[in-house]
Homo-oligomer: A and B are copies of this chain.
């Protein structure tokens, strides 16, 4: 047991601080971004204050009325807290007090197991799962901190004893399992408890938050910082959950830094928190959209609140660079806080620089040796080519069976995409807004990805425990020069099949855009069927072979591992095993030249079979396919070319300038092939056995 915090006498003391408040108040009239951000907060606060307080008995699942009302309540409490601090108007403080007293009057009467709770997650008391209760508390305690001085000691006592202390107990006792989980739900739990412990001056709870309920340090916030992030700051569940997980990490870190600066929490584990925020930003395409690997909602961008907190905090308190101001500008708001003040001020002073997107490899695993996520980029932020290569580990329960998957972006659009999660988030009529059954039967399966499927199954036969215990080996990475490349090996996903994939962004002097070159090699002593899907966006406008789409009947492409959800649209044998297919997408053309041995089929499929409840979105793929093959190499070169100007009705460059793809060698040790660009012959050689001379371009 340690002593009470000195700083605990001061309120507020988290994102807004007593020391900073005068400057923030002034900044709200000086710096446009802070001014607008406060105007939004104040607008929300005013709407709240004008409305009627509504604290319904918890009843509904995600997206339902009581769920949404409790969510609004915590947003209102936070907004009114900020509005009170900046404006000094007591009505906002009164609102917060009344809401909290309202909860205090009811909270202990509510069921300890929410009526809509599910076996998959520990129950909340306000929401269907404890996670949302913790999010609620993280927000509400900040609002309370901001109006603390405006509430009478008597009311504070009621609020603390009848609401916050029971919440602390509920999280640490009823939900002990979640509280001690090394998992993003655990982070929300420890942040809720830790922040509340600081504000209520209860060091015991802070200690539990930092070191787990037994205070041993095996669980809790610090153990989460140790184990949930790789040394590069990668969160194993992937960018979507990384972003989500960041918020409690960031807010709690800020509180720790305020109350116990001696912990040097920002420096912890070589500044892992700062790395996590930077890695999160680097896990977006130049439009700000997060790479949707694993369970991910696809429209999510770095504009989300978590990254607003993250960007403001690393810029203001961790020495972040001026290119973060570019992100802040795109976010269009700052946190009304000491950190937000600095960001808004520096933007006003013209310090912003374009965000520096990088080609990089982000290692996975607590020790950084469990594969990783590779990102290759080319071009300006306005027209960026971006290849994402997933050689990371499984990523726990939200992971997809997508070993060596690639995602490819160009021209502000997805070219080869990942389906993300099968979920209509917060739409009650769709499984209460939760993951749909098709998330498991479709979205997680291998065939839903741009990676090799062996014998129409999924990697690890879609067994999570099996998948979780293996990870790919990164063979090669080079993030600059004319041959940017990444290569990785996966030997365990399919029994008896060893796979190496090598993806390249190749810059040739004849072309303004890089070529995406992709070589997927599989070795096996047994015969297999190999399917390599390319999930494309747009419409097929040309092909070297005749695509004979089925005209009068569609049937599913299989019965399991996701194939049951695919309508088979065509299945054509390609003479000579090589050819091309051209897709028009967002006013540009993408021609994929391919070669895969002497007998190759190209199938086209569309998503939607065995979907009685219309839970699946539109998606289309072409699949390079070989059957009865032992060793197999698929080579493809995708050129981005041309321009469709729909307004002027002009089309240029609709034909690919690449031709003559010829395989020279494709065996276990290496792959080499040649192709022509505008009459000039190039040869690419990959030596899988020589890391020092892995790829060679011969001109």
Contacts and interface: CB of A to CB of B under 8 A. Distances in A.
Contacts of A428: 654
How many monomers of this chain does the complex have? 2
Interface string A639-657: 0000010111111101000
A646 B297 contact: yes
Contacts of A549: 608, 611-614
A650 B67 CA distance: 11
Interface of A: 63, 68, 71, 297, 299-301, 303-305, 424-430, 433, 539-542, 547-549, 551-556, 567, 569, 582, 584, 604, 606, 608-614, 617-618, 644, 646-652, 654
A544 to B, nearest CB: 11
A541 B429 contact: yes
A555 B556 contact: no
A695 to B, nearest CB: 33
A129 to B, nearest CB: 15
Nearest to A68: B652
Contacts of A539: 424, 614, 617
A647 B553 CA distance: 40
Given A547-B613, A549-B612, A541 B424 contact: yes
Given A300-B649, A305-B648, A426-B644, 4 more contacts: A424-B539, A426-B649, A428-B654, A606-B608
A609 B552 contact: yes
A634 B112 CA distance: 50
A424 to B, nearest CB: 6
A552 B301 contact: no
A649 B612 CA distance: 26
A425 B584 contact: no
Contact of A63 (B68, B609, B647, B651): B651
Contacts of A650: 68, 71, 426
Nearest to A567: B554
- The SS class assigned to the A binding surface is loop
Given A301-B647, A651-B63, A612 B426 contact: no
A303 to B, nearest CB: 5
14 contacts: A68-B650, A297-B646, A300-B646, A304-B647, A424-B541, A426-B649, A540-B614, A547-B613, A549-B608, A549-B611, A551-B610, A551-B612, A552-B610, A553-B555
Contacts of A63: 651, 654
Given A301-B647, A567-B554, A647-B303, A541 B427 contact: yes
Contacts of A613: 547, 549
Contacts of A651: 63, 68, 425-427, 433
Contacts of A608: 549, 569, 606
Listed residue (A300, A427, A433, A582) with the most chain B CB atoms within 10 angstroms of its CB: A427
Contact of A552 (B299, B540, B556): B556
Q: Nearest 8 A-B pairs (CB), nearest first?
A: A299-B646, A429-B542, A426-B651, A554-B554, A551-B610, A540-B614, A549-B612, A303-B647
Given A552-B556, A556-B552, A647 B614 contact: no
Contacts of A430: 541-542
Nearest to A618: B618
A612 B617 CA distance: 23
A4 to B, nearest CB: 37
Contacts of A614: 539-540, 547, 549, 604
A549 B584 CA distance: 30
A539 B569 CA distance: 21
Given A567-B554, A617-B539, A649 B610 contact: no
Nearest to A653: B68
A654 B644 CA distance: 37
Contact of A584 (B68, B424, B433, B582): B424
Contacts of A652: 68
B304 A648 contact: yes
A551 B297 contact: no
A604 B611 CA distance: 13
A617 B430 CA distance: 27
Contacts of A606: 608
Given A646-B299, A651-B425, A654-B427, A552 B555 contact: yes
B582 A429 contact: yes
A342 to B, nearest CB: 23
A541 B63 CA distance: 13
A594 B552 CA distance: 31
Nearest to A307: B647
A300 B650 CA distance: 12
A422 B528 CA distance: 41
Contacts of A426: 644, 649-651, 654
Contacts of A649: 297, 300, 304, 425-426
Given A541-B430, A648-B304, A553 B551 contact: no
A551 B647 contact: no
Nearest to A303: B647
A491 B649 CA distance: 38
A308 to B, nearest CB: 10
A547 B613 CA distance: 7
A451 B481 CA distance: 58
A654 to B, nearest CB: 6
Nearest to A559: B552
A647 B299 contact: yes
Contacts of A424: 539, 541, 584
A555 B553 CA distance: 5
Contacts of A553: 553-555
Contacts of A68: 650-652
Contacts of A646: 297, 299-300
A549 B651 CA distance: 39
A548 B618 CA distance: 18
A554 B541 CA distance: 24
A173 to B, nearest CB: 29
